[in-house]
Amino acid sequence: MLSPQHWFQMLAHSSLGHYMQTSQWAFAVVEMVHLLALAVLGGSVLFLDLRLLGVTLRAESAAIISRDLGRLLLVSLVVMILSGIGLLSEEAMKCYYSPAFRWKMALLATAVVFYFTLHRRAAARAGIGTVSPSQRIIAVVSLLLWLGVGIAGRAIGLI
């Protein structure tokens, strides 16, 4: 059983890590992909939660919106995680010791678990035209969790 530190060291010394560390443009290109997926993820999360809050498209089925935007969210999440692993391999040990990175991973795990459990269930049950208080709370928690992931992610480069 290897400790997390070993996993990070293995990633840093992998062929992916070696490529990302030596290539002149790889980091920049992967970072751009990461940002493009961020725009799609941010848009789908925001729109989904505004529907749950009853701010937008209140007269349309929340289940349909949750199904379609949920797919968009999943695709962009997968792209973000894959490109994120690429970015991580370039500076794995710096991230391992970075409090911002640890916060980001904790918030990301929470946001993903929250989405697959309470959030999806609330969207499936949401009625048309009415908004329950629990639905509002779930939407606000979801927005705060994803915003937290973004802010912690930005902070990796700053602290």
Partner 1 sequence: MTQPLLQHLCQVLYDSHVGTGIRESDNAFSVIESVHVLSVTLLVGTISILDLRMLGIILREIAVTRIARSVLPLTWAGFVMMAGSGFLLFWAEAAKNYLNPAFRVKVVLLLLVGLNPLIFHTTIYRRVSEWELAHRSPWRARVAACGSLLLWSGVIIAGRAIAYF
Binding site for partner 1 (CB under 8 A): 28, 31-32, 35-36, 38-44, 46-47, 50, 56-57, 60-61, 64-65, 68-69, 71-72, 150-151, 154, 158
Residue 125 or 154 having the CB closest to partner 1: 154
Residue 11 or 30 having the CB closest to partner 1: 30
Cα 113 from Cα 104, distance rounded (Å): 14
Q: Side-chain half-sphere of 21: how many Cα atoms within 13 Å?
A: 15
DSSP code per residue over 28-69: HHHHHHHHHHHHHHHHHHHHHHHHHHTSS-TTS-HHHHHHHH
Residue 50 or 112 having the CB closest to partner 1: 50
Shortest CB 8 distance to partner 1, Å: 25
